[in-house]
Amino acid sequence: MITVSHISKSFGNAKVLDDISVQFETGRVHQIIGQSGSGKTVLMKCLVGLLEVDEGEVLYDGRNFSNMTIDQRKEIRKEMGMLFQGGALFDSMNVAENVAFPLLMHSNMTVAEMKKRVDFCLERVNLAHTNKLMPSELSGGMTKRVAIARAIALNPHYLFCDEPNSGLDPQTANMIDNLIAELTHEYNMITIVNTHDMNSVLEIGEEVNFICNNKLWWKGDKNSILNSNNAELNQFVFATGLMRRLKPCQ
């Protein structure tokens, strides 16, 4: 379980996160939703330690990540996988080398074992036989899937996804969402997904956290989100014509 306890984060005078507390349970897909600039990405960066919180703490299965030294954090980071918005694949490496990279840095696998694991991860994201391709030769959806393969290479306990389906067509976005949900249940991971895509929320949102005005404004699941009376949430959820047409059906 990841426990976020009363964290706050400011940049200069601008408070981006204000006293946020939330728990993320094992084996579930947790989504963080909110408008652009609401602080979703800052929250995720605070969770993985790319940004330091000003106040509060983040606990990974009881281990206080916020108070740890860089070396102590390294052990927890070996249990993390992260999918970045643009994929963040290493340009100088081909697909297989990208997926093998965490194994190379953190495991004592032989080359044959690494190759086997890379092939398995790539097959799992339906990208077998793409080992030799360079990141520049991949489509947006393929890039995201390679990034997922890299994120799961070390069998992580915690998977973080920052807007995994942004810039993708609805079909590919749906495929990425379902892949993330499948992997979460298959490996019993804690998955946290930042998104503002309502299709994604309604598809895989087992736990949905809505951030508004720098605070955790609403918490529920994909079924309750359409029936909420929360004005700010409704304003966000039913912002598009498609979603407004969906509302009277409930």
Partner 1 sequence: MRFIRIIEDMGHYVHLMKRVLTKPDKSLVLRRQFFINVQSLGFDSIGIVAVISLFIGAVATIQVAYNIDNPLLPLSLIGFTARQIIILEFAPTVVSLILAGKIGSRIASEIGTMRVTQQIDALDVMGINSANYLILPKILASVFFNPILIVMSIAIGLVGGWIVSLTSSLLTPYDYVEGIRLFFDGFTVFYALIKTVVFAFIIASVSGFHGYRITGGALEVGQASTRAVVDSSIAIIISNLILTQLLLT
Among 16, 20, 89, 180, binds partner 1 (CB under 8 A): 89
Shortest Å, Cβ 148 to partner 1? 13
Which of 82, 121, 159, 233 touches partner 1 by CB under 8 A?
A: 82
> By C-alpha distance, which of 41, 49, 43, 44 is closest to 69?
49
**Distances, alpha carbon 201 to alpha carbons 5, 197, 210, 237, in Å:** 24, 7, 11, 10
Q: Does 65 bind partner 1 (CB under 8 A)?
A: no
88 forms part of the interface with partner 1 (CB under 8 A)? yes
Stretch that binds partner 1, among 7-15, 70-78, 187-195, 213-221 (CB under 8 A): 70-78
Q: Interface with partner 1 includes 40 (CB under 8 A)?
A: no
Mask: binding to partner 1, 146-185, rule CB under 8 A, as x and -?
--------------x-------------------------
Regarding 105 and contact with partner 1 (CB under 8 A), the answer is: yes
Compare residues 91 and 250 and give the one whose CB is closer to partner 1.
91
Q: Strand order of the sheet with strand 158-162?
A: 80-83, 158-162, 190-195, 29-33, 207-212, 215-220
Neighbours of 92 (CB within 10 A): 9
Amino acid at 238: F
Residue 82: Cβ-neighbour burial (10 angstroms; 0-12, 13-18, 19+): buried
Chain mean position to CA 173: 14
Q: Among 1, 50, 239, 242, which residue interacts with partner 1 (rule: CB under 8 A)?
A: 50
Residue type, 82: M
Span interacting with partner 1, options 8-16, 97-105, 195-203, 215-223, rule CB under 8 A:
97-105
CB of 229 to partner 1, least distance (A): 38
Partners of 129 in beta bridges: none
